[in-house]
Amino acid sequence: MEPLQKVRAAAVQMSPVLFSRDGTTEKVLQAIKDAAKQGAQLIVFPETLIPYYPYFSFVEPPVLMGRQHMKLYEEALTVPGVETQAIASCASEQGVVVVVGVNEKDNGSLYNSQLIFDAEGKLVLKRRKITPTYHERMVWGQGDGSGLKVVDTQVGRIGALACWEHYNPLARFALMAQHEQIHCSQFPGSMVGQIFADQIEVTIRHHALESGCFVVNATGWLSKEQIEQITSDEKLQKALQGGCNTAIIGPEGNHLCNPIIDGEGIAIADLDFSLITKRKRMMDSVGHYARADLLQLQINQESRNLLNYNFPNQI
């Protein structure tokens, strides 16, 4: 499909309704409507927003997190399911492309999944974070290369990665080489403090420059009351503050609107696709500036399957 030459994008900084899949889903649906009223054609939500990011795994030792882990299993989504259908219907009704992070339950495992719905309500990409980070490995399974894809939508070619996947340069290059025009990044927010927000800043601006694309980044946020719900330890509560940086970045690495670093809100900016050409005529890292004769990426985009029925017949 032919992309638009200008797109209005929205990045939503939002707190979940802790311990409630239904509650958080309702907040997402309302935010889609609110952003659409402001003319947004692309709306990006934070990492595993539905039902909520597993903050408990960052502040509790594994031996104590069983109850909270089980609760996350109870509230996690199946894809497709009732909640994804509600988001799809809302995207279609509002005529917008939606990118949202969810905890996906697939039989006995949980995954950090990113979902992209086009403006007709079709789920055009479901991908799973390829390597959960640090404490997250106690919660989520690993994704595979089948989701390292750029998809065509009504607002252009979109790619997505979650949080520290951006520190895997080959994962980023896989999307760059497919000529993504808009990169949708997601982080949990409300973690580690200002240094996390600073790291996000460096990460998203560098990717925009290197890939010559727009970056629409959404981070989550926790209120003081929510932090106290997660842990009563005042020292550990400090680890769940700051670290928010919801922003929209242009292909030249510049902010296109004021970032949101505290509280809930919607960052909105207009994306002029001529800026992609302006950047890439100088440095196209997967075109005239690439050296495929020297450096290439080999990628396995097959879905991981534990059963293989292709063995030859045995006599």
State the catalytic residues.
47, 129, 163
Six-digit token string for 134: 């640090």
Residues 6+ apart with CB under 8 A from 66: none
Supply the pLDDT for residue 314.
57
Q: At 16, is the secondary structure helix, strand, or coil?
A: coil
Cα 195 from Cα 35, distance rounded (Å) = 29
The count of structural domains within the chain is 1
Confidence (pLDDT) at 1? 61
In a domain, 297, yes or no: no
Is there a domain that residue 287 lies in?
no
Q: How far apart are CA 109 and CA 246, in angstroms?
A: 29
312 belongs to a structural domain: no
Dist. CA 289–CA 280, nearest whole Å: 9
Q: What is the pTM of this model?
A: 0.95
Q: What is the pLDDT of residue 31?
A: 98
SS (H, E, C) 123-187: EEEEEECCCCCHHHHHCCCCCCHHHCCCEEECCEEEEEEEHHHHHCHHHHHHHHCCCCCEEEEEE
Residue 295 belongs to some domain of the structure: no
Residue 91 inside a domain? The answer is yes
300 lies in a domain? no
Report pLDDT for 304.
Answer: 87
pLDDT for 7? 98
CATH code at position 47: 3.60.110.10
134 alpha carbon, distance to own chain's centre: 18
Question: What domain range is 203 assigned to?
Answer: 7-280
Per-residue pLDDT of the chain (315 residues; tens, 9 = 90+): 665 789 999 999 999 999 999 999 999 999 999 999 999 999 999 999 999 999 999 999 999 999 999 999 999 999 999 999 999 999 999 999 999 999 999 999 999 999 999 999 999 999 999 999 999 999 999 999 999 999 999 999 999 999 999 999 999 999 999 999 999 999 999 999 999 999 999 999 999 999 999 999 999 999 999 999 999 999 999 999 999 999 999 999 999 999 999 999 999 999 999 999 999 999 999 999 999 999 999 999 999 888 877 766 655
Q: Let me know: does 119 contact 96? Beta carbons within 8 Å.
A: yes
Angle of CA points 102, 105, 110, to nearest 5°: 85
In a domain, 303, yes or no: no
Q: Is residue 77 part of a domain?
A: yes
Alpha carbons 57 and 263: distance in angstroms, whole number: 23
